[in-house]
Structure 1
Amino acid sequence: MASDEPAMTTVTSKGQVTIPSSLREQFGLEQGTKLMVVPTEYGLVLKKVDLPSVEEFQQRVEQRAETVDVSLEEVTQLVHEARSENE
């Protein structure tokens, strides 16, 4: 199936949908992958959320620490807030 061909799925009583396996493979969607659901004027759009690895996150924090004065406690709080938003 080409990526521009539409695929059909059904919403369950729990509000769940199954993404066809060909599209899961094409877009690298595995169990536990986070998807953002974005309402648009045309309908709903699913966007894969790529969270950085722990190593990437630590590198980003270290780079920012050189220019921004942020405590470890503040970073921890921001991480918890971001995780809550993505659940």
Structure 2
Amino acid sequence: MASDEPEVTTVTSKGQITIPSSLREQFGLEQGTKLMVVPTDYGLVLKKVDLPSVEEFQQRVKERADTVDVSPEDVSRLVHEARGDNE
């Protein structure tokens, strides 16, 4: 259960913030964890993005293979773009 106590952090010159260790532990945030930043009328909300496992992703691709005309190269490119990888 989330604590109601607010935590304060500072934005660096590069736009980075440090999430306090107690919150990183509470929400399972490790190095490399992807977070979505959602603007709302009340401010910004951070949402942990849980990416599917390789096996789950492969199953999703198989399920859609007959209905979508996408090459393996397209899939690879789209995955890299979504992950923010520099190919």
Q: TM-score, normalised by structure 1?
A: 0.78
Report the aligned-residue RMSD: 2.2
Matched position secondary structure for 2:19: coil
What is the match of residue 78 of structure 1? 78
Unaligned runs of 5+ in 1: none
Change (3 A) 1:14 1:77: closer
Q: Look up the match of 2:63.
A: 63
Q: Distance in 2 between matches of 1:68 and 1:20?
A: 43
Q: Distance in 2 between matches of 1:13 and 1:41?
A: 25
Whole-angstrom CA distance in 1 between matches of 2:65 and 2:14: 43
The Cα shift of 1:42 comes to: 0.5
Name the amino acid aligned to 2:64: R
CA distance, structure 2, for counterparts of residue 81 and residue 39 of structure 1: 22
Counterpart in 2 of 1:43? 43
Structure 1 residue 21 displacement after superposition: 0.6
Q: Larger helix proportion, structure 1 or 2?
A: 1
- The letter for the 2-side match of 1:33 is T
Q: Match for residue 7 of structure 2? A: 7
Please tell me the residue identity of whatever aligns with 1:36: M
| Residue identity in the other structure for 2:56 | E
* Structure 1 residue 4, shift from structure 2 partner: 2.3
Structure 2 residue identity aligned to 1:25: E
Distance in 2 (alpha carbons) for counterparts of 1:69 and 1:15: 39
Q: Which ranges of structure 2 fall in alignment gaps of 5 or more residues?
A: none
SS in 1 for 2:13: coil
Alignment CA distance shift 1:14-1:78 (3 Å): closer
Q: Deviations over 1:1-25 (max 9, x none)?
A: x522211111112211110111101
